[in-house]
C-alpha cells in the first residue's frame, strides 16, 4: 500500500500480531496491567479480535497489541503509568485503523480510558466493538494524459465538526491507487477532492459532494481531474 500522509496523524497502522498476553513495546520497568472483555454489538464476548493499547497524548512508538481469547478477554501487561485507552484494530475483521482520534471522527463519541499509577496498577476496561467503518476508494483520472498529478488532497467532513484532511501522492508513489479512506458508517459525509495544478473535482458542488457508505462496505468513486492549463 502506498503511504498516506495524514494531517491529523490518524492513519498510522501496523499488521496485527497474535495474542501473547503481554504488551509489546512497553518499558521493562512498567508493571501496570490493563484487562477486560470485548463485546460485540450484540453484547456477546468477541473472541480472536485484535486490540491496541493507546496512551492519551502524543507517542512515537509502536503501540502494544494483543488478541482476545475465546471468552473475549484480553490482557495488556507491562503498562507504564498514565492514561490509556483500548481500541479494536483488526484489518481482517473490518477494522483497519483505530485510535482515540480516529474513533472520534468515525463515531462521534469520546472513548473511555483508565489510569495506571503506582497505587492503581491494575485497571479493568471493557470494550464495546463499534460498527465497522465504511471504506472509500478513489480512482483518479486525468483528462490530459500528458499532465502528471503529483499530490491529491481528500477532505472528509461529518456531523459535529468532525473532519479529516488527508493527502497522498509524491514523486515515488502511484497516487493512492489501491489505498482507501475510512469514513463514518451509515452517515452523510461531505467529500472534497483537490489536486495541485488541477481544477476542483467536478463532483464538488458547494461545500462538497455528499456520500454515504454502509458499515463494512466499500464505495468506489472515479474522480476526473482537469488541469488548470491545457
pLDDT (0 to 100) of residue 171: 47
SS3 of residue 154 by DSSP = strand
pLDDT (0 to 100) of residue 153: 86
Tens digits of residue pLDDT in 129-186: 999 999 999 888 777 666 667 788 889 999 989 999 888 765 444 456 567 899 999 9
pLDDT (0 to 100) of residue 172: 44
All structural domains of the chain with their residue ranges: 4-128, 134-225
pLDDT (0 to 100) of residue 200: 75
4-128, superfamily in CATH?
Immunoglobulins (2.60.40.10)
Fold agreement (4-128, 134-225): yes
Residue 34 near residue 84, CB atoms below 8 Å = yes
| H/E run at residue 162 | strand 162-169
- pTM surpassing 0.85? no
CATH number of the 134-225 domain: 2.60.40
pLDDT (0 to 100) of residue 139: 83
84 CA to centre of own chain: 17
Residue spans of the chain under pLDDT 70: 1-28, 144-148, 169-178, 203-206, 230
SS3 of residue 102 by DSSP = helix
Amino acid at each position: 500500500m502506498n503511504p498516506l500522509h495524514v494531517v491529523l496523524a490518524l492513519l498510522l497502522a501496523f499488521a496485527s500480531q497474535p495474542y501473547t498476553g503481554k504488551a509489546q513495546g512497553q518499558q521493562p520497568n512498567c508493571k501496570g496491567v490493563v484487562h477486560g472483555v470485548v463485546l460485540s454489538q450484540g453484547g456477546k464476548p468477541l473472541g480472536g479480535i485484535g486490540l491496541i493499547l493507546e496512551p492519551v497524548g502524543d507517542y512515537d512508538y509502536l503501540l502494544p497489541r494483543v488478541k482476545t481469547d475465546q471468552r473475549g478477554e484480553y490482557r495488556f501487561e507491562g503498562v507504564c503509568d498514565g492514561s490509556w485507552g483500548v481500541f479494536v484494530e483488526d484489518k481482517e475483521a473490518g477494522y483497519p485503523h483505530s485510535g482515540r482520534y480516529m474513533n472520534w471522527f468515525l463515531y462521534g463519541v469520546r472513548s473511555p480510558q483508565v489510569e495506571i499509577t503506582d497505587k492503581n496498577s491494575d485497571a479493568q476496561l471493557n470494550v464495546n466493538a463499534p460498527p465497522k467503518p465504511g471504506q472509500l476508494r478513489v480512482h483518479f483520472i486525468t483528462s490530459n494524459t500528458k499532465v502528471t498529478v503529483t499530490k491529491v488532497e481528500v477532505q472528509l467532513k461529518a456531523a459535529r465538526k468532525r473532519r479529516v484532511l488527508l493527502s497522498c501522492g509524491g514523486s515515488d508513489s502511484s497516487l493512492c491507487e489501491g489505498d482507501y479512506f475510512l469514513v463514518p458508517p451509515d452517515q452523510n459525509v461531505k467529500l472534497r477532492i483537490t489536486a495541485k495544478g488541477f481544477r476542483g473535482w467536478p463532483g464538488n458542488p458547494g461545500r462538497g459532494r455528499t456520500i454515504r457508505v454502509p458499515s463494512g462496505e466499500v464505495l468506489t468513486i472515479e474522480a476526473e481531474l482537469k488541469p488548470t492549463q491545457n
